[in-house]
Structure 1
């Protein structure tokens, strides 16, 4: 009888404990994003109001270091992580407490493509590029973020696709523009090659809804050898069974919401119609879409 009662209590309490643990991780995740947002606000004050770049530097992965050497403090390729480091002073805030994705680019599976740690958050991408194949949608339509990607060849010559980051005054509705999203990706580019999504619609829609979309955690999508491993995978960070994702907004605040609230579904089904109707898109820098 006693054992039966204990079993019943366990069945009742275990889900409660799991929910409490999930809520605690969600709160810690929000804290990480807010700290990154605060550091970014300080950074722009020192950089003529211009946001940091996703990446800035030469395109050689190993930064000239011997093969198999962890990139660690490599500064030949700068990233949003390294640019904000003087203000953050704690790289642990770049890892979500919910992120248990195994990274393959921190092992010798990638030869000299070592990185040194996980990054769980990806910046929105300002990519007016012409080298990414996104099917019928041109990158200028689906890459509507605010962070630039300053590619360069090993001799320093800018390569095709180089863009600059926005200034904060270019963002029409800072309190309503999402600029950083949690994404758990098995190749996290910790030191200099921070990950991003060329198609910003992947923030809102999963792989069933959008070709190139990403499922919400704990679901993952396998993208074998996208970087270097047969187990390469990705997932949008989420809580409450995948129903809530935390986002950092351009004014520095962070909040959790259903990812579908970011965009009108017409951004998947009818892009031209979405643009013409100024359909909702909270990742877009232009407040006309809010």
Structure 2
């Protein structure tokens, strides 16, 4: 009767090498598939916000809300509401505020939010910290008429609020994007010299979370993926085709 033997060391090493090779091939594929699922979930979030924005406009004379509603001096509480809360009655799901791939959250609530009325603070979890993963193209909210205004909270030459009729190509104009600040500001949109997007409150203007690109919502409510550096100036301003 022949005695059975176990695997030799060489055979075990060969098996381990094969497993390592398969893991090296498959793990990146699994990670990429997981990220594609997250990107699709993010795009779905933004699509739902796009629909909510359209419903909001129908209720408010075809005007866009802007990134927030603010009326008062800095430090006054109960006067500021961010756009996710403005549209929450239409989406009814607070998880939509967070991109599944996003770690670059907006982490402040100053002066306050609807979630935590009467609280002020900058990114303090015990003092009304507020999270959302998307940012607003503020050209939809406050295009100004004076390229050199005297800045204040209540007056920056703003014309509240922008309607669809003031935008030449709503379907081609980006409204909401992946990002970690609440808004992307433009200095002015009346003068052609001043109609370019500048950053207010510092970088980043965009967050390339998904395969070196970002998701967006356009003025007509549709959601779309953009590769890095694939947009034109006209995609960000009220003038079409810049």
| TM-score of the two chains, using structure 2 as the length reference | 0.71
How far residue 159 of structure 1 moved from its aligned partner, in angstroms, is 3.0
Task: Identify if the C-alpha distance between structure 1 residues 184 and 104 changes in structure 2 by more than 3 Å, giving closer, same or farther.
Answer: closer
Unaligned runs of 5+ in 1: 65-73, 132-137, 141-150, 153-157, 186-194, 201-210, 214-225, 228-232, 264-279
1:236 maps onto 2:189 in alignment: no
In the TM superposition, 1:222-233 aligns within 5 A as none
Determine helix, strand or coil for the equivalent of 1:236. coil
Q: What residue in structure 2 maps to residue 81 of structure 1?
A: 84
Query: Partners in 1 of 2:234 and 2:220 — Cα distance?
Result: 17
How far residue 32 of structure 1 moved from its aligned partner, in angstroms, is 0.7
Task: Identify if the C-alpha distance between structure 1 residues 37 and 103 changes in structure 2 by more than 3 Å, giving closer, same or farther.
Answer: closer
Write the deviation string for residues 200-247 of structure 1: whole angstroms up to 9, x where unpaired: 9xxxxxxxxxx977xxxxxxxxxxxx69xxxxx7473324542x2111
CA RMSD of the aligned region, Å?
Answer: 3.4
Q: What residue in structure 1 maps to residue 96 of structure 2?
A: 93
Query: Partners in 1 of 2:58 and 2:94 — Cα distance?
Result: 21
Query: Partners in 2 of 1:178 and 1:59 — Cα distance?
Result: 28
Task: Work out which of the residue numbers 105, 112, 125 in structure 1 matches 2:138.
Answer: 125
Instruction: Say if 2:49 and 2:91, in contact at 8 Å, map to a contact too.
Output: yes
Query: Partners in 2 of 1:61 and 1:198 — Cα distance?
Result: 18
Query: Partners in 1 of 2:234 and 2:86 — Cα distance?
Result: 28
Write the deviation string for residues 92-117 of structure 1: whole angstroms up to 9, x where unpaired: 212111111366537xxxx7334433
How far residue 40 of structure 1 moved from its aligned partner, in angstroms, is 0.8
Report the number of matched residues. 204
Q: What residue in structure 1 maps to residue 5 of structure 2?
A: none
Query: Partners in 2 of 1:159 and 1:199 — Cα distance?
Result: 15
Q: What residue in structure 1 maps to residue 227 of structure 2?
A: 258
How far residue 248 of structure 1 moved from its aligned partner, in angstroms, is 0.6
Write the deviation string for residues 148-180 of structure 1: whole angstroms up to 9, x where unpaired: xxx75xxxxx33344312112222222211111
Task: Identify if the C-alpha distance between structure 1 residues 282 and 99 changes in structure 2 by more than 3 Å, giving closer, same or farther.
Answer: same
Task: Identify if the C-alpha distance between structure 1 residues 48 and 55 changes in structure 2 by more than 3 Å, giving closer, same or farther.
Answer: same
Q: What residue in structure 1 maps to residue 20 of structure 2?
A: 7
Query: Partners in 2 of 1:128 and 1:238 — Cα distance?
Result: 26
Query: Partners in 2 of 1:57 and 1:92 — Cα distance?
Result: 24
Give the ranges of 4+ consecutive aligned residues of structure 1 lying more than 6 Å apart after TM superposition.
Answer: none
| TM-score of the two chains, using structure 1 as the length reference | 0.60
1:54 maps onto 2:57 in alignment: no
1:175 maps onto 2:171 in alignment: yes
Instruction: Say if 1:129 and 1:139, in contact at 8 Å, map to a contact too.
Output: no
Larger Cα-atom Rg: 2
Task: Work out which of the residue numbers 104, 116, 121 in structure 2 matches 1:112.
Answer: 121
Unaligned runs of 5+ in 2: 1-13, 110-119, 188-196
Query: Partners in 1 of 2:241 and 2:206 — Cα distance?
Result: 26
